[in-house]
Amino acid sequence: MQLETILPVCSPAHKQSFVLCVVAMCRAVPINDLIYRASQQSDKLHALSTMLTQELGSEAFPIDRVLACHTSSLQTPTDKEQALQVSESDLLSLARSLLQAWSDPLEVLSSSTNVLPYSAQSTLSKTIQKMQEHSKDLKDGLDILSSKMGPAAQTITSLPFIQTNEIGQDKITKLLSCFRRDSHKIDSFLKVLRCRAANMQPQVC
């Protein structure tokens, strides 16, 4: 009997997430723990991006009037009331979409560090690498989580990143600013989600 028949929730498309999914299912990791763990990862991810912008100098990161991120087309809540009205599945879907949208740009960023002044290069490449790792971990965790939460959570909005041949320094700083914001969104959604889950420890929420 194949595992897929036993655990139809887990999609065998990606081996690693499939394994994680199977493991999670078999071990019946409670959702609360999964969400908590995911929120920790997203917190770390955003902290890294904040640290990066601060180290490279805040003057390099003007928040433009029009911050045209490639993820701007995704509709996200703009205040607290809106945010608290979003369903859990939608929250998860938004988080996953944003996360997915950044896997390519991070790759491009990691290979473009030579554009920046030399002193910033090592910091940038190290931090971007860490961000990629956390991003990957988070993605796997959210995949498992979404499989437990129903079909609405499975939707991922595609936000393609059009890669130009060369990325200039201003483009890099713009990308980093966009990533800082998007990682904050992901973090916020997951933290709302974790307090939304039933039986959350009272000291956390």
Token readout for 93 is: 């879907």
Token readout for 109 is: 């960023």
Token readout for 117 is: 């002044």
Q: From CA 2, how far away is CA 120, in angstroms rounded? A: 50
In the bound state with another protein, the residue whose beta carbon lies nearer, of 143 and 182, is 182
Figure out which of the listed residues 96, 139, 174, 185 binds another protein, where binding follows CB under 8 A: 185
Per-residue x/- track, 49-88, another protein (CB under 8 A): -x-----------xxxxxx--------x-xxx--xx----
If phi > 0 it is left, if psi is from -120 to 50 it is alpha, else beta; for residue 28 that is left
> What are the helix (H) ranges across 9-166?
15-27, 31-55, 80-85, 88-101, 103-110, 118-147
Contact window for another protein (CB under 8 A) among 24-32, 94-102, 165-173, 187-195: 187-195
Cβ at position 125, least distance to another protein in Å: 23
Cβ at position 81, least distance to another protein in Å: 8
Binding site residues, another protein, CB under 8 A: 43, 46-47, 50, 62-67, 76, 78-80, 83-84, 181, 184-185, 187-188, 191-196, 203-205
